[in-house]
Amino acid sequence: MPGIDECLLEVMRLPGARGAAVVDWTSGLALGTIGESPNGDHEATAAETAEVARMAAEQPVFAQAQAGPSPGAPPLPAVEDVIVTTAPGYHILRFVETAFDSSVFFHLWLDRSEGNLALARIKLGEIAERLVLA
């Protein structure tokens, strides 16, 4: 089962991928980064995207929590991903279900002219399912 670095390398093989990160949305810290950052600073981007992820995950209209993977485990966010479109690209925030607290997400920055949003969303979901956090 792949770790953060292996998953990020796989994400960057997607057509149009400009940059990616695995981020803890409770702290805003990047656990791993690769490629470019939209503002040139991966740490600042992680903090900014964490705010968006946290907002989506914690809002009652989006976050009708499901039961955790085992009895007593924290609830999982009902939000699978958040997609933000801009003129030059797409930002996909894909939540990762973990055994401990499910506070991690992938951020993929995808070039709009070269990327395929539907394919990227599907592949990112598959990669997120395989990610192993140690």
Find the DSSP H helices in the chain. 4-11, 42-58, 117-130
pLDDT at residue 103, as a whole number: 86
pLDDT at residue 111, as a whole number: 97
Report the candidate in 60, 4, 64 with the shortest Cα–Cα distance to residue 29.
Answer: 4
pLDDT at residue 59, as a whole number: 83
User: Quick one: CA torsion of 11, 16, 21, 22, rounded to 10 degrees?
Assistant: -40
Report CA torsion sign: 10, 3, 123, 86: negative
What phi, psi does 71 have (nearest 5°)? -55, 135
pLDDT at residue 28, as a whole number: 95
User: Which domains are seen in the chain, by residue range?
Assistant: 4-130 (3.30.450.30)
> What is the C-alpha to C-alpha distance for residues 41 and 95, in angstroms, rounded to an integer?
21
Cβ contact 22:8 at 8 Å:
yes
pLDDT digits (tens, 9 = 90+) for 71-89: 655 555 678 999 999 999 9
> What is the C-alpha to C-alpha distance for residues 53 and 28, in angstroms, rounded to an integer?
10
Low-confidence ranges of the chain (pLDDT < 50): none
